[in-house]
Structure 1
Amino acid sequence: MARKAVPGQAESGVPGWVSPMLASPDGGRLREGPEWAYEYKLDGFRACMRVAADGSTVLTSRNDVDFTDEFADLTGVLTEALDGRSAVLDGEIVVYNDAGQIDFGLLQERRGRYQTHRSSARRGEPFDDVPVRFLAFDLLQLGGTSLLREPYDERRRQLTALPMPDPYRVEVVRGFTFTDLAADRRTPRHLLDHVKASGHEGLVAKLRTAAYTPGRRSNAWLKHPLTQTTEVIVCGYRPGQGRLDGLMGGLLLGAHDPDSGDLLYIGDVGTGFTEAERARLQARLDVLERKRHPFAETPPRADTARAQWVEPELVGEVVFRQFTRGAGRLRHTAWRGLRDDKKPADVLAPQRREPASTGARAKTPARKTTREQTQGEPVAEDQPTASPGAKITVQAGDRRLVLSNLDKPLYPDGFTKGEVINYYSRIAPVLLPHLAGRPVTFIRFPDGVGGEQFFEKNVPHGAPAWLPTVRIARSGSRGSTEPVTYALLDELAAVVWAANMAALELHVPQWTVDGDGTRRPPDRLVFDLDPGPGTSIVHCCRVAERLHEALTEDGLTAWAKTSGSKGMQLYCAITTDDPAAPSAYAKKLAQRLARETPDRVTAVMAKAQRTGRVFIDWSQNNPAKTTVAPYSLRGRDHPTVSTPIAWDEVRGCRRPAQLVFTADDVLDRVSEHGDLLAGLDATRAALP
């Protein structure tokens, strides 16, 4: 394949940044066959190393944040190897612990020190005690030639041909082809066993013929993270609330110490249950109730609030990612079911995978709440390493906040509270304009998705004094007014505070309030497209195209976003003095489309009318209703997001998966495209 020079790129200058190609989940099935190669999945900071012909080096994060000063000891190391050529390498910055394992916790601690001292006289303080290493896994440019269109095998060949003059600082990630493994009488499963034993995160399978596609999440790269299963003893439960009232909300787990035989508290599990299974479990738990916990030592009070204890007779199985050292807790758990074939006496606590070396430090988010700190995110105070579940103090803008339980999984796939805070803090610059002046209704998931959830309109007790609020009267069922005190999220700290409450979903009305709490007339028109049974977001897109045409004819500009669940919404910025007018207009337009294609569209709310049709929910324009905010997470099995989309994406949608975006996907999209709803208010027009 002929290779192409990078346009406008001077050989003597530092090459331009390349947005990284991203891997897709493999759904738990590690791909096998001669077309695949395998690399270790690394636990560090994704980084692009750009080297000029004179050796000048720039390091940038996956979101184009400059890492150069922070990891200055990685610069210039490839000058000799490149022999006067420029280059762009894709890789991961990692730290190793004393047992020779990649340790993200140490990298977090190093970053916390850097963030603390970068504005002080200690900015240049060396990090000799925590050396970093750049592990390269792709070569995107060499000299003036782009390698992006070259197949993986060719890029890998040229990468491994580069001499590594200082492997303590820069090295190539080990790679294995399926054919190489087969020649050694080994399989990818053998490799996975080795990866598990050596403490790596997992494997990434890469299609050997695939080009490098910048900024895209591709099925040519498939990540296979490691999970583990273990038996546990059910020792108690937290009663469910809200829709789970009368059922258990989460189980409290135990196992026997392998040495002493004592029954230990090893954590909880709140996801992975169907409601039917919750009911079956509750029936068995009811006959086992006891007054006190059964453990040799009393569990932490924060973990056992509202606990109902039971005799330790039921054995179950959970999936987990890690068993923490020190506290001895399962992390990222999901329920797999009861194991009636196992006896409680046979259930032993998992072996801790972290080494017992005294020089290694526990992996913990003590120094910061996010995996990759970017400008404007909360920065943790310089403090001793915290144990899992401990509270930490962070700086978010001008505010100090106390966060807790960052390791607690809130989604069945293991996405933690710390990762929720990470997402909301990084998306805040584009999220906040869509919340400005709008009272927020939260949907909170304190026990994670699958556990208790509840709407919260009133600001909860214990909210910080600096949080702006607004008191608004609402109509009661009999015409009485019942004031509600809503929160207004107008800064980074407010968003982080909400995320720390496990407020996964943020919902707002189509109107704003003045500083004195006076409700303004509606300024947005919304159409909520809800696919009925037998339809999907693909069908919603076809209806959205028709609505777009009709709205354009009426002088309005439509903007699209996914709901983050099954459907999508269209917004128009409007002016009107009549609070009832948007609903009336939206209803009229919805009924028109339903008359034109009654077999595909309905404007009737009754669920019996929705099978095979898309319901255009015009009632979301009622002043009493709210709609999920752009960039809000949703409480589903995965951390999906209500995502602004371009009209080209709407028109091109042929499969539902094309318009499913997770938190990571959305951060990548915003990094590449900015806020696709940024121009909404500039298109404001009078409501017809």
Structure 2
Amino acid sequence: MVSNPAAVVEAAGRQVRVTSPDRVVYDPTEATPAITKLAVCEYYAAVGDALMRAMGERPTAMERWPDGWREGMRLATSTQDRDADGFYQKRLPRGAPDYVESVRITFPSGRPADELCPTEPAAFVWAAQMGTLTFHPWPVRRPDVDHPDELRLDLDPQPGTGFADAQRVADVARELLVELGLRGYPKTSGNRGIHIYLRIRPDYSFEEVRHAAIGFGRELERRDAGVTTAWWKEERGQRIFIDFNQNNRDRTIAGAWSLRARPGAPVSTPMTWEQLAEVRDPRDFNLTSVPDFLSDGDPWAEMDDEAFSLEPLLNLWETLPGGELNFPPDYPKMPGEPPRVQPSKKVAAHWDDQGNRIEK
């Protein structure tokens, strides 16, 4: 078999070589044609300026699908999961071009890594050439990787709820932010959820930002019965879960303007609040339509104009009842954390007041 010749994609004046340009990355759907590797690379070149505003200088994990994405394919859940079709690349691979830069970050375990740090649009195109579909940036920038400059509110629909429910909760969140003197910037998740970003002063630890997200979520629970901050799935019900743990160190969500590994190449699309309210199907915002949508202006262009204090949200954390919530299972046991056991399986006598298991 004769392989297809490589193509070249230009990104902000730099040429990036794309091998196997005709490889189908997304199968056709009723709404979108088959999408090739070249089309993915051209998409990231087309939205390069907006990508740099959202992700420039940020440590960024790459969600790679080397053979493209198809229904039924699976993303690896750990480094030992070698039979999966896609995986997270958290260390910049060897052999990257000189213009593809990295930054040293530290995982919760204390282990360091040199992760992709985009400094120009061509870095995204190079990553797409390497099979990256989704970019997962940290909420920090290279000058200070230990203090977030972004609070991220992840509105995650649980079974029995959908995008319309997330829209309703997002509007409640918008009203609360306005009351607190804060400005949030929403985007679709590229699936059924909604993300709300808040530019903050880089004066806080990851733990403080997480507590601010919990405080915000608890106030949303008070205002809307369809919201929950319950960590255990068995307690969430048919509500919108505020995933506060996405604000932990090395926890990321799909970045702005990123493609998602779902039918039709949907995009996690930044919007104004007015635009978000008008969306009926988030799948309408995909690789084929988003460049035209962005041509009318970047809805997040002003995000860096003002950085806010977290004190209003930390006050909610301090004053609303509930205390500490669970961390992800791969985290070390944290101070004040409840027992890491499903409530339905918990036997009170087996745990002390600090959430530590009592060995018999």
Query: 2:291 is matched with which residue?
Result: 667
Measure, in 1, the Cα distance between the counterparts of 2:121 and 2:198: 26
Query: 1:443 is matched with which residue?
Result: 63
Query: 2:326 is matched with which residue?
Result: none
Greater relative CO, 1 or 2 (CA 8 Å, sep 6+):
2
Assess if the C-alpha contact under 8 Å between 1:444 and 1:455 holds in 2: yes
Larger helix percent: 2
Query: 2:92 is matched with which residue?
Result: 459
Instruction: Tell me if 1:496 matches 2:125.
Output: yes
Q: CA deviation at 1:464?
A: 1.3
Query: 1:592 is matched with which residue?
Result: 219
Assess if the C-alpha contact under 8 Å between 1:511 and 1:524 holds in 2: yes
Query: 1:510 is matched with which residue?
Result: 139
Q: CA deviation at 1:462?
A: 2.1
Q: Residue deviations 1:282-313, cap 9 Å, x none?
A: xxxxxxxxxxxxxxxxx5xxxxxxxxxxxxxx
Q: CA deviation at 1:675?
A: 0.5
Q: CA deviation at 1:396?
A: 4.2
Assess if the C-alpha contact under 8 Å between 2:186 and 2:194 holds in 1: yes
Residue 25 of structure 2, aligned match among 406, 410, 413: 410
Q: Residue deviations 1:53-99, cap 9 Å, x none?
A: xxxxxxxxxxxxxxxxxxxxxxxxxxxxxxxxxxxxxxxxxxxxxxx
Q: Any gaps of 5 or more consecutive residues in structure 2? A: 29-33, 74-84, 312-360
Residue type of the alignment partner of 2:221: A
Q: CA deviation at 1:400?
A: 4.2
Q: CA deviation at 1:594?
A: 2.1
Measure, in 1, the Cα distance between the counterparts of 2:119 and 2:202: 25
Instruction: Tell me if 1:678 matches 2:293.
Output: no
Q: Residue deviations 1:383-404, cap 9 Å, x none?
A: xxxxx53234555445443320
Assess if the C-alpha contact under 8 Å between 1:420 and 1:499 holds in 2: yes
Q: Residue deviations 1:137-168, cap 9 Å, x none?
A: xxxxxxxxxxxxxxxxxxxxxxxxxxxxxxxx
Residue type of the alignment partner of 2:174: H
Measure, in 2, the Cα distance between the counterparts of 1:588 and 1:686: 14
Q: Any gaps of 5 or more consecutive residues in structure 1? A: 1-298, 300-326, 328-387
Instruction: Tell me if 1:557 matches 2:183.
Output: yes
Measure, in 2, the Cα distance between the counterparts of 1:659 and 1:684: 31
Assess if the C-alpha contact under 8 Å between 2:185 and 2:303 holds in 1: yes
Assess if the C-alpha contact under 8 Å between 2:184 and 2:197 holds in 1: yes
Measure, in 1, the Cα distance between the counterparts of 2:252 and 2:7: 33
Q: CA deviation at 1:607?
A: 2.3
Query: 2:149 is matched with which residue?
Result: 523
Assess if the C-alpha contact under 8 Å between 1:576 and 1:687 holds in 2: no
Q: Residue deviations 1:12-65, cap 9 Å, x none?
A: xxxxxxxxxxxxxxxxxxxxxxxxxxxxxxxxxxxxxxxxxxxxxxxxxxxxxx
Assess if the C-alpha contact under 8 Å between 1:513 and 1:520 holds in 2: no
Measure, in 2, the Cα distance between the counterparts of 1:641 and 1:486: 23
Assess if the C-alpha contact under 8 Å between 1:562 and 1:659 holds in 2: no
Instruction: Tell me if 1:482 matches 2:105.
Output: no
Assess if the C-alpha contact under 8 Å between 2:9 and 2:17 holds in 1: yes
Larger strand percent: 1
SS at match of 2:24: coil
Query: 1:470 is matched with which residue?
Result: 103
Measure, in 2, the Cα distance between the counterparts of 1:544 and 1:570: 8
Measure, in 1, the Cα distance between the counterparts of 2:122 and 2:271: 27
Whichever of the two has the greater Rg, that structure is 1
Assess if the C-alpha contact under 8 Å between 1:442 and 1:456 holds in 2: yes
Are the structure 2 counterparts of residues 438 and 658 from structure 1 closer, same or farther at C-alpha, using a change threshold of 3 Å?
Answer: closer
Residue 627 of structure 1, aligned match among 213, 230, 253: 253
Instruction: Tell me if 1:570 matches 2:185.
Output: no
Residue type of the alignment partner of 1:426: A
Assess if the C-alpha contact under 8 Å between 1:511 and 1:520 holds in 2: yes
Query: Taking every aligned residue pair, what percent have the same amino acid on both sides?
Result: 33
Q: Residue deviations 1:433-476, cap 9 Å, x none?
A: 11111011000011111341000010112211332111222231
Instruction: Tell me if 1:390 matches 2:19.
Output: no
